[in-house]
């Protein structure tokens, strides 16, 4: 899920979040994470920071601790099956044997390439 979906799922009010400087980019996001802000949800030390784009309040920092991040995992940019295929092909191209484990569909499979 994206940052906006994560904030919604976790019940975060965008008005309560810190405004983001214009176009923060990776360097500013990394600097924020190094400052160890508090989780926007539960107040524990944050492990990740991102930006939500709220139509009413503008861009805001969404900081999440480990537990809140794991409760709202990011969406893969491609299906897991395609990512596995890509990894297998890359491994075969350089002559490596790849053993990948996945719990997709609630099971753990060994996939050898």
Q: What is the pLDDT of residue 110?
A: 47
Residue 82: band (very low, low, confident or very high) from pLDDT cuts 50, 70, 90 = confident
Average pLDDT, integer, range 34-56: 94
Domain that holds residue 32: 3-70
The answer to whether residues 21 and 53 belong to one domain is: yes
The answer to whether residues 53 and 106 belong to one domain is: no
The answer to whether residues 18 and 53 belong to one domain is: yes
Distance CA 10, CA 22 (A): 25
Average pLDDT, integer, range 10-20: 95
- Is residue 75 one of the residues assigned to a domain? no
The answer to whether residues 63 and 88 belong to one domain is: no
The domain tally of the chain equals: 2
Cβ within 8 Å of residue 104, ≥6 positions away: 80, 81
**How many CB atoms neighbour CB 55 within 10 A?**
7
The answer to whether residues 10 and 62 belong to one domain is: yes
Distance CA 23, CA 12 (A): 22
- Is residue 10 within 8 A of residue 72, CB to CB? The reply is yes
Q: What is the pLDDT of residue 111?
A: 46
Q: State what percent of residues in the chain have pLDDT above 90.
A: 60
For the question of whether the overall pTM of this predicted structure is more than 0.85, the answer is: no
Pairing assessment for the beta strands 99-102 and 58-64 based on DSSP bridges = unpaired
Average pLDDT, integer, range 26-47: 93
């Amino acid at each position: 899920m994206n940052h906006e979906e994560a904030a919604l799922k976790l019940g975060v009010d965008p008005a309560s979040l810190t405004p983001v400087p214009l176009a923060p980019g990776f360097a500013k996001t990394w600097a924020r994470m190094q400052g160890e802000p508090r989780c926007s949800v539960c107040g524990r030390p944050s492990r990740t920071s991102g930006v939500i784009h709220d139509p009413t309040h503008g861009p805001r920092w969404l900081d999440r601790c480990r537990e809140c991040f794991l409760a709202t995992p990011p969406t893969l940019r491609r299906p897991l099956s395609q990512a596995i295929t890509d990894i297998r092909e890359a491994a075969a191209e350089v002559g490596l044997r790849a053993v990948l484990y996945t719990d997709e569909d609630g099971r753990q499979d060994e996939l050898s390439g």
